[in-house]
Amino acid sequence: MPDSANTDAQSRSATRGRYRFREYHVTTVPDPLALPAFTAVCVTGEESNCGATSGALHTPDELTHWIAEHCATTGHGLYEQTVRAILRAEPGAWQ
């Protein structure tokens, strides 16, 4: 027996349909003209993080060198690393 408060429930269910969505595949390729950026932030500390940052560096060796210098002067040993790169999307085919 239909609920009087929900009188349009049957009409809504009668109009339901199935929808299929296709996927659009995209691959990403690093842009050869853009340099990647490596950044480290010192997160050593019990009450609060040190917060010293390396700034944007362009090779992993430069980042390791900055971390080594900061560790040598402060004794800090925990760092958060971020790597950024410019990517180009290359559209694929519908599936």
- Please answer whether residues 56 and 74 qualify as being in contact, where contact means their C-beta atoms are separated by less than 8 angstroms: no
Q: Pick the closest to residue 88 from 38, 36, 26 (CA basis).
A: 26
Q: Which residues pair with 88 in a beta bridge?
A: 29
> What residues does each domain of the chain span?
35-95
Q: Within 10 Å of residue 85's Cβ, how many Cβ atoms?
A: 12
Arithmetic mean of pLDDT, 77-88: 94
Quick one: CA dihedral 53, 55, 60, 65, positive or negative? negative
Whole-number Å distance between alpha carbons of 68 and 22: 49
For 47-57, the pLDDT digits (tens) are 889 999 999 99
Token pair belonging to 20: 């299929």
Q: What is the pLDDT of residues 14-35, one digit of tens each?
A: 667 776 666 667 788 888 899 9
